[in-house]
Amino acid sequence: MPPVAVPNEAPKKSLRIAIIGQSTFAAEVFKLLLKDGHQVVGVFTVLDKGNREDPLATIASQNGIPVFKYKSWRIKGKVIPEVLEEYKSVEADLNVLPFCTQFIPMEVILYPQYQSICYHPSILPRHRGASSVNWTLIEGDTTCGLSIFWADDGLDTGPILLQKSFPCTIDDTVDTIYNKYLYPEGIKALSESVNMVANGTAPKISQTDEGATYDPALFKAETHQIDWSKGGVALHNFIRGLDSSPGATTFIKPQTKDSENENIEIKFFGSSLWEGEYEAEGDVIIIPGLMKPAVIHDGGLLITANDGVKLNIQRLKVNGKMINAQNFYKANENKVSLELTDEEKQFVENARNIWKAILRIDIDNDTDFFDSGAGSMDVVRLVEEIKDLVNIELQNEDIYMNTTFEEFYMIAILKTRGDSSNQEIKYEAVEMEVNKMKIKFATQLFIDGQFVDSDSGKTLTLINPSDETVICKVQSASKTDVDKAVKAAKKAFEEGEWSKISARERGQILFKLADLMEQHKEELATIESIDSGAVYTLALKTHVGMSIETWRYYAGWCDKIQGSSIPINHARPNRNLTLTKKEPIGVCALITPWNYPLMMLSWKMAACLAAGNTVVMKPAAVCPLTALKFAELCVRAGVPRGVVNILPGSGTVCGQALADHPLVRKLGFTGSTAIGQTIMKSCAASNMKKVSLELGGKSPLVIFEDCDMDKAVRNGMASVFFNKGENCIAAGRLFVEESIHDEFVRRVVVETKKMSIGDPLNRGTAHGPQNHKAHMDKLIEFCERGVKEGAKLVYGGKRVDRPGFFFEPTIFTNVTDDMWIAKEESFGPIMIISNFNSKNMDEVIRRANNTEYGLASGVFTKDVSRAMQFAEKIDAGTVFINTYNKTDVAAPFGGFKQSGFGKDLGQDALNEYLKTKTVTIEY
């Protein structure tokens, strides 16, 4: 097992760092070290390639850091004196080697006070050497990872400082594990390691010989040759281990009349194990060493290994030309002829200069990138430099499939012209300088991949609840807009890319979306805060943090949605087989509330999209801004057009139109019970669309005399005041054992008085403003009615004397079961306390169940038997024992009775967006 990584802590002192390496990886390490407060005193990298320097050198120069470029550090095995003296002149405390391809002399390694740390993309001592990532896949490892080690005079043999491991699936490639784990986590790991060195907590754990491997570098042609005598899984691992470059290679004899007599070199890319039982039909290819011919079919090239295991190949490089495998026997397809604009002509010349700098040759239209000596790192560099040049993100596969310069610039231009998810999305933006950052968001409807104005021209005015100022106006969807969005979603479901891509590809898009949300989490939390009044720190952790977790959770479910086979009676003399298939429903509508705008969107939409549906979503009219920012991120993540549509608007117009629309086949709603009843009627009357409803709550929290009082007070407050009480599972009524009632109330009042009320963007604020004025007014009326009924107002109950919709945390005692405030949901920071006698447990459970709501519940007691009896008898969808508000993306969430039906989160939520088809076969 690798050493446990210590949580990253801020450095207690600044170190003088020398960075020795190259590439965008090293450039990102450079930026992170500066961010952590360290001083980079020198950058040592490779010579310029042509007229372009390494990205590390570029960013160092931009920051005024001395840059040294050496062809070599040694001559005939000895350090070059001038180079050594130049290195010593920067007086570094520590050398950091993030991506270093040169041999660094020990005189340099050992010179600084803290010596040198180096990054390696494997879990040492396994896979020492230059091709460790490739060998991780070739060997079929189920775990990949990275190591930060103290450099010594061996090859990747120095003591371990930090290691991280990650799951490696049978379908991973060099690119996927590098992009998902080794690149982003490696950058962070180096930063953590430097901080540990600075804090004196960096370990030096000697590498053991047990499990150590040294794998040869995969540079020579003979190391790429496929051994067809191996089993299918081993062949798959070998091909995917060489997937980026140089490719697993074999030679076949000419198999058409027009072919020449020389053997044909073929490289294989995009391997996957073939899970189907059937034999694909198509033309055959005879591959020496295989007992069965390979078959060219619509999905690629199907190979049957000699052990019977099948694998499918997506792409082939035939005599240096990359093609889709299914096109092996097809004539060259007609090239796309484009008439270039002046701007596009300029792009072509700029791209030509990038190719020239990478390849260091003159570039003609038929110059082949790989035939000219390019490797996998050059692909990464090309993608990054094109991204810097124009606002598109090419994929590595775009380079492998378009290897000549003309093919390359054609595909790049087509991406800039077409409906590409990678181009800059245009919208009417609001840009603000707030919370020490710049935020930017759209104000229009999002329909069919574009931001557009409402057909009606109507708008919604959004108010910042913390100061009552106008944030902006947002377009409000009409019935016509709903119809457009639903039809776009239907087309995307039936005809678009979403219906054609595999479940695994769908998951990859959702993972990318989660990554983008992670990158924009501070901006999303800030928008959530100014739009809904959420305390920024809570928004960062819960509103946004749990949203990201939800998307990642359901991204992982995409390719694990399965049916079953069922034994049924045979119709003799024939036999029968019955299968079930889980299929997406189609166009789904989602209507979400205002208390957790982004999180409620994510809870519903992530499961909906993971199941393969398309969606039209109406966010709450008072706070739709994070939903609109989310729409922008969907485009950037590559979600195809029409799959996600976001319609800010009123419930009476937009929401009702969704419930009534005949093409919507499922509606998910979170909100009040009264509105849920209206929606259910409309869904039944329109087309009997499937419905899931998460509605109101009056959740009981029962606190017994044997509780942990500190924990009960802390969690009791959180159960009511969390997110300003705007929490569907908030404890609507606390039942406190009479023997501890007075002490509990006293302590709660003391702690409540300590709560800091104020600007939600202030890091010290614990209690922000209510979401909007109408809600705050409702809370005032709620408290006034409680006082009139005879409940004792112990604390709060009024608006805070300051601008904004601030309402004091409130505590009522002496609440009897017949009072209105004991029965109705406040949806605000109002604690309702009643007492009980624990000698009659059934009575308190009867009182707790005496409500039409059944969303959540809680109990505090050290008696396990009592707690479990409570859990069995309470009529609520969620039961918390000695905790509260502890939801998780993997745990189903939903209520009983008039709190609704259906589930969000967990595997159960997928069933809300799937239909089961039964198929019976007689044979």
Give the strand pairing for 160-167 and 248-252: unpaired
Upstream peptide bond of 125 is cis (omega within 30 degrees of 0): yes
* Catalytic residue flag (residue 344): no
Distance, in Å, from the CA atom of 825 to the CA atom of 209, rounded to the nearest integer, reads 64
770 appears as a binding residue in the annotation: no
The two tokens of residue 128 are: 């020492």
Is 520 a known active-site residue? Answer: no
Structure tokens at 211: 């499990």
102 is in an annotated binding site: yes
Consult the annotation and say whether 308 binds a ligand: no
Catalytic entry in 118, 608, 728, 783: 728
Distance CA 836, CA 733 (A): 12
Q: Which among 701, 632, 692 is positioned nearest to 666, based on CA atoms?
A: 692
42 is in an annotated binding site: no
The annotation status of 651 as a binding-site residue, yes or no, is yes
Is 558 annotated for ligand binding?
A: no
Among candidate residues 100, 104, 119, 109, the one with its CA nearest the CA of residue 187? 119
Q: How far apart are CA 79 and CA 107, in angstroms?
A: 8
**Residue 204 three-state SS:** coil
d(CA 904, CA 599): 11
Q: Is 655 annotated as a binding residue?
A: yes
Give residues with Cβ within 8 angstroms of 862, minimum separation 6.
706, 707, 708
Write down the catalytic residue from 385, 694, 737, 808. 694
Whether the Cβ atoms of residue 917 and residue 580 lie closer than 8 Å to each other: yes
- Catalytic residue list contains 707: no
- Is 899 a known ligand-binding residue? no
Q: Residue type at 888?
A: D
What are the residues whose beta carbons fall under 8 Å from the beta carbon of 430, sequence distance 6 or more?
440, 441, 442, 443, 471, 472
Contact 233/47 with Cβ under 8 angstroms? no
CA distances for 390 relative to 53, 351, 691, angstroms: 19, 10, 45
- How are beta strands 67-69 and 587-591 bridged, if at all? unpaired
Contact 455, 478 (CB under 8 A): yes
Task: Let me know if 335 is exposed, middle or buried by CB neighbors in 10 A (0-12, 13-18, 19+).
Answer: exposed
d(CA 875, CA 893): 14
Which stretches of 644-782 are assigned E, i.e. beta strand?
644-646, 666-670, 690-694, 699-703, 731-737
Contact call for residues 96 and 33 (beta carbons, < 8 A):
yes
Cβ contacts of 116 within 8 Å, gap of 6 or more: 20, 94, 95, 96, 97, 104, 108, 109, 110, 150, 151
Nearest in space to 100 (alpha carbons), one of 149, 144, 65, 145: 149
Strands 116-120 and 94-97: parallel
Three-class SS state of 312: strand
- Measured CA to CA, the distance from residue 613 to residue 645 in angstroms comes to 12
DSSP assignment of 364-428: -TT-BTTTTT--HHHHHHHHHHHHHHSS----HHHHHH--BHHHHHHHHHHHHHSS-TTSPP---
To the question of whether residue 894 is assigned a binding role by annotation, the answer is no
Q: Token pair for residue 864? A: 């396990």
Is 825 labelled a binding residue? yes
Is 671 labelled a binding residue? yes
Q: Check whether 100 is labelled as a binding-site residue.
A: no
Q: Is 796 annotated as a binding residue?
A: no
Residue 656 marked as a ligand binder = yes
Q: Is 564 annotated as a binding-site member?
A: no
> Cα-Cα-Cα-Cα dihedral of 825, 468, 622, 549, to 10°?
-80
Q: How far is CA 744 from CA 1, 166, 748, 749, 862, in A?
A: 47, 46, 6, 9, 16
Which residues does 89 contact at the CB level (< 8 Å), separation at least 6? none
Give, as one character, the DSSP assignment of residue 723: G
156 is in an annotated binding site: yes
**φ and ψ at residue 861, rounded to 5 degrees:** -165, 150
Active-site annotation holder among 120, 543, 772, 775:
120
Binding site per annotation, positions for NADP(+)? 651-656, 671-672, 778, 825-827
Query: Which residue positions form the known binding site for (6R)-10-formyltetrahydrofolate?
Result: 102-104, 156
Q: Among all residues, which ones are annotated catalytic?
A: 120, 694, 728
Annotated binding site: 102-104, 156, 651-656, 671-672, 778, 825-827
